[in-house]
Amino acid sequence: MFLVRLVISLALLCAPLVLYVLASRKAENAILLMFPMFGAIPGAIGALLVFVPLERYLASHGLAHLTNLLVPASGASLILIFVLVVTSASRRLGTLWTRLRSGGFRAVAPLLVWSVLGVLWGAAWRASAWVIAAVAGAIRT
36-70 confidence digits (pLDDT tens) = 777 788 888 889 999 999 999 999 999 999 999 99
Residue among 56, 57, 53 nearest 81 (CA): 53
Q: What is the DSSP string of 72-118?
A: HHHHTHHHHHHHHHHHHHTT-HHHHHHHHHHHTHHHHHHHHHHHHHH
Q: Which domain holds residue 65?
A: 2-140
88-136 confidence digits (pLDDT tens) = 888 877 777 787 778 777 778 888 888 998 999 999 999 999 999 999 8
Tally the domains of the chain: 1
Residue among 138, 125, 133 nearest 47 (CA): 125
